[in-house]
Each structure stands twice: as C-alpha cells, then as structure tokens.
Amino acid sequence: MTVLRIGNASGFYGDRFDALREMLTGGDLDVLTGDYLAELTMLILGRDRLKDPTAGYARTFLRQLEECLGLAHERGVRIVTNAGGLNPAGLADAVRALAYRLGLPVRVAHVEGDDLTARHPGSLAAHAYLGGFGIAACLREGADIVVTGRVTDAALVTGPAAAHFGWGPGEYDRLAGAVVAGHVLECGTQATGGNYSFFADGDIRRPGFPLAELREDGSCVITKHPGTGGFVDTGTVTAQLLYETAGARYAGPDVTARLDTVRLTQDGPDRVRVHGVRGEAPPPTLKVGLNRLGGFRNEVVFVLTGLDIEAKAAVVKAQMTDALAKSPPEEVRWELARTDHPDAPTEETASALLRLVVRDPDPEAVGRAFSGAAIELALASYPGFHVPQPPGKGAPYGVFDAEYVDQGAVEHTAVLHDGRRIPVPPPHDTLVPHPVDEPPLPEPLPADLPTRRAPLGLVAGARSGDKGGNANIGLWARSDDAWRWLAHTLTTDRLRALLPETAGLPVTRHPLPELRALNFVVEGILGAGVASQHRFDPQAKALGEWLRSRHLDIPEVLL
C-alpha cells in the first residue's frame, strides 16, 4: 500500500527555527508542512500590513527557506505552508525571487480567496478558513512549494493527501482521516511530548517534530524521525486530538470528521496507528475570523511582601480608585496572586502579586495619568511598596470575532507557478452539523470503594486551549477503570466546583468513549479572545493543568 509521508516543521509563528532543516535531514519525507497562523498571529500580521502594505506574511519562513530550499529540492520534498498569512501572493513572489537567486528551478504556487477584509470595514483582518482542495490543485499541477493564507490547519495535510491519492470532494471517510492526521500534526511537538501532562514518561528536552504516514484509505501512523527527542504514544496523540476541539463533530470546509470514531493503537515504539475515522459532508458555511482593535490597555503589578497582605492590597486599591476617580477607565480589573509563603526563607517567596489591568477606547485614559497615579504612590502607600517595572504608555489590544459566510461566497483559487488560475468550487453536498446523541458510558465503579483525597491529575491527563473567547478542556483516562470513574464523576457541575472561574459561564460536556475522554467547552472565559488578554492565562493553555491539580475523592484502587 502506498504511503505518503507528511511532516510538520512549525506549530506557530516563532517555533523552532532549525526545525525545517531537522525534518529535511532526519529521515524520509514526501511533503513538509508548516503552520504559522493563529488568531493572534493574524492580528500581528494585520498591524504589520498597516505599516507596510507589502508585509503581512511570516518572514521567518523565508529565512528558514533560504537555508533549506536547496536541500528540499535535492530530496524531492514538497513544502506546503500557511506562512502567506495576509499576503500569500507576496510570499510566493519572495520565494520565487529566492529560488532565482539560488539558481533552483522551483515551481511556486499559492492559494487565495480567503481575504474578506474589504467586506468588513473596521477590521484589521477578516479571513475565511479555506479547505485543502486549492492546495491539492496546486500540487496536481506540479508545484514544489505551495503558499496559502488562512486555511484550516488540517488543510495543510488534506490537500497533499487528496492530490497524492486522487481523492474527490465526496470521499468523506478518507478526508476525515486526513483531517485527524492534520490536527495531530498542526501544533508540531505537542504530538511528541511537548505540553503533555505526563511529560516525565519520556525525555522532552528537545522533542522531535511529528510526521504522519498516510494511507489511501485515510488511516495513518503518527511517528517522528528516528533518533529525535520526545516520544509518541496513544497519550500524546490523544492529548493533541482533544486540543482546541469541542464535540464529536469536527466540522471543516471539506468534511466533518467524527472524533467519536477515532481509534488509536500503539504500533511499536514512537508509532501510533490512527484508524476507523468516519466522515460526513461539510457544513454549508465557512468560518471567518475577524480581527480588530478593541481599544487600549495598561497594567501595573504591585508587590506585597510579608504580613497583612490583604490589608496592604486594600490600601493600594483604595488609593488607585481615588486617583483615577476624575476620569476612570472603562474597565478596571484587580487580581491578587497569593504567591507568598509564611515564614519564607527568601523575600520573593514572602511576596504576593497584586495586578491591576485597565482598558479604555481612549489611549489617554490608560496612559500617562494611570502610570503617574501608580508611581506617585511609591513613598505614600503600604510598607514595602515596589513594582517589578513601572507601567508604560497604554498599548492597543485586539478583539477576535467569528462570523460565517456561505461556502459559495468565497472565491477559492489556486494560482499556479505559470500564472494560471484554477477556481476551486464549493462542495456539492453539505450538512449542517448538530450535536450527536449522548454515547453510552461504561458501567461505573462500585460505589463502596475506599477513596482518598488526591489531585485529579493522578488519574487523568488534560490539554486545554482557546477558540476565540471560549476555552476547551480535554481530559482522558489512562486505564479502563479510570475511565469508568472519570466518565461518571466529572460532570459539568463538578467542573464548575473545581474551577470557580467558570461559575456562571455556559459549560458543555462532550464524552468521547473511544478515546476514554471528556471534552468540556467553557464559553466566554477568555472574553474577546487572546489578543484582549482578558485573564491571567489568555489562551487557556494551563487551564487543564489547573484542573488536574484540584483535589477530590478518588478510589484508592486507581491510585
């Protein structure tokens, strides 16, 4: 059976610079992908484009390619990346110029049609999430490098797979398998031990980047190059499958993948077989990510040391409230982090942090007056007053919103190396996704088992992340008995009790028995999205680890 080996060399804009070379030299590959885009990245690139209309793409990729383009050409590895960001045509031209300068006969194509900014006045960037068939068209016409703008992360894998195996738009099970493979690869080393709850199971000091061995039926094996760091097992793959997903239906432009059908099998050291994935027709609409400036913010952190922490916090809160009373910012948030310890052996461990964040549409309201009010308290407030650094001028912050447009309203186009333009039609069949029925859960453990108060993380792993203003927390059990307990114990009410910050917010639970997993979606906990920096952990990266640290009564047989 023919195998297509697709690797990943980037999970975000700023990932390991040497990864492109490592993946090209570490073992056999047919296609190498790089994911450079996230909601926050689109805002950053939008601000870059305001300063320079020729900007708007990930310049890091171009510098990486300068070192590695000859190597990729020599080894016959095709490269597919969304590093084009807001300007895929500009990056494609820059790659052509680089290839010409290096004397390499490289055919560069790009995909466009995602940019809907002109239809959304007031936005810095408005881009539809395209599917993989534009990428497939470029590859079928001989492209060596394909540059895209905003496509779904999984499209970087579904496109090459569709081109290689000749899949058509209606082959939903195969496409769904490729979507799952793409979702596992998209965040790079998160599939090889990075950000993994049970990181002590292997050496993650420098994890290798992942690759998928795809087969024509849509199944694959997730692995990594021999001799690279990190590790791949059913746990690392499960964690990444749960990342930034919600229910059983994972809808995309080409197919709706059924995550409740995914089966994982350890296929040897650092090899996990992914199989059984079923697919359904895609939805009739495309998601559009809207990035705009939300206003201006500023912050200051007061260090409170030693005794009377609460009283010291009350003093400085009252002083700042009085100082800002004439022109108070629109939003004022205080957070006290009790990092202090009694009878501490060092000054730092005797100190707590009081964080004040202000927001306002007017930069003056969070600028000099705010900063001055904080610093003027230096000799006139609580004993031991100091700040790690003085506040500066108010800085702009972004807001992310999602809208949806009909698939046919977007001019998805493959632009080939010779200038030909191939339109990519919208899917012929679509289906509005709806929640699946609650799956049958395993029998609960006997109710009379002796229990011990212990952290949830002793029996469950977690991976959490952001989607706009929402966060997801995926948890999975490491054994069948732990799953029997987790499935019946961790209800939405129990989650709210363990994570008081979720109180009053809509929480939805999605069981995924094939993965021995629960996926919770917490709506609104991130405010207007990561760029608004609504909370201490604005992308909810550690929300799952906080949950794992909470104590509850766990059957001793599981411990």
Taking 90 as the threshold, does the pLDDT of residue 462 lie above it? yes
180 exposed, middle or buried (CB, 10 Å; 0-12, 13-18, 19+)?
A: buried
Calculate the average pLDDT of the chain.
95
What's residue 5's pLDDT?
Answer: 98
Taking 80 as the threshold, does the pLDDT of residue 407 lie above it? yes
Residues with Cβ within 8 Å of residue 476, at least 6 apart in sequence: 235, 238, 239, 242, 460, 461, 462, 515, 516, 517, 518
CATH number for the segment(s) 290-399? 3.30.70
Per-residue pLDDT of 429-448, as tens digits, reads 999 988 888 899 999 999 99
Q: Which residue matches tokens 């760029």?
A: 531
Percentage of the chain modeled with pLDDT above 90: 89
What gap in Å lies between CA 269 and CA 27, rounded to an integer? 16
Per-residue pLDDT of 32-87, as tens digits, reads 999 999 888 998 898 888 889 899 999 999 999 999 999 999 999 999 999 999 99
Taking 90 as the threshold, does the pLDDT of residue 394 lie above it? no
How sure is the predictor about 536, in pLDDT bands with cuts at 50, 70 and 90? confident
What gap in Å lies between CA 186 and CA 6, rounded to an integer? 11
DSSP element (H, E) containing 302 = strand 285-305
Taking 60 as the threshold, does the pLDDT of residue 425 lie above it? yes
Residues with Cβ within 8 Å of residue 150, at least 6 apart in sequence: 37, 42, 82, 85, 114, 115, 127, 128, 129, 130, 289
Would the CA dihedral through 131, 136, 141, 145 be positive or negative? positive
DSSP element (H, E) containing 274 = strand 272-275
What's residue 1's pLDDT?
Answer: 57
What gap in Å lies between CA 489 and CA 441, rounded to an integer? 12
How sure is the predictor about 538, in pLDDT bands with cuts at 50, 70 and 90? confident
Per-residue pLDDT of 205-237, as tens digits, reads 999 999 999 999 999 999 999 999 999 999 999
- Domain limits of the chain? 3-287+402-423, 290-399, 451-558
Taking 70 as the threshold, does the pLDDT of residue 152 lie above it? yes
Q: Mean pLDDT across the stretch 13-29?
A: 97
| DSSP strands (E only) in 40-179 | 78-81, 108-112, 125-128, 145-147
What gap in Å lies between CA 547 and CA 456, rounded to an integer? 7
What does R_g of the chain's alpha carbons equal in angstroms? 25
Q: Mean pLDDT across the stretch 335-363?
A: 96
CA 338 to chain centre: 29
Better pLDDT: 398 or 268? 268
Better pLDDT: 533 or 434? 434
The token pair at 44 is: 């950053």
Backbone angles phi, psi at 72, to 5 degrees: -65, -40
C-alpha distances (whole Å) from 277 to each of 172, 241, 263, 430, 514 are: 10, 12, 7, 19, 11
DSSP character string of 372-392: HHHHTTTTSSSTT-B-SS---
C-alpha distances (whole Å) from 113 to each of 6, 52, 158, 252, 358 are: 25, 21, 18, 16, 38
Q: Mean pLDDT across the stretch 187-216?
A: 97
Q: Which amino acid is at 132?
A: G
Q: Mean pLDDT across the stretch 121-150?
A: 96
H/E/C letters for each residue in 191-242? HCCCCCCCHHHCCCCCECCEEEEEECCCCEEEEECCCCECCCCHHHHHHHHH
Q: How many CB atoms lie within 10 A of CB 140?
A: 17
Per-residue pLDDT of 470-527, as tens digits, reads 999 999 999 999 999 999 999 999 999 999 999 999 999 999 999 999 999 999 998 8
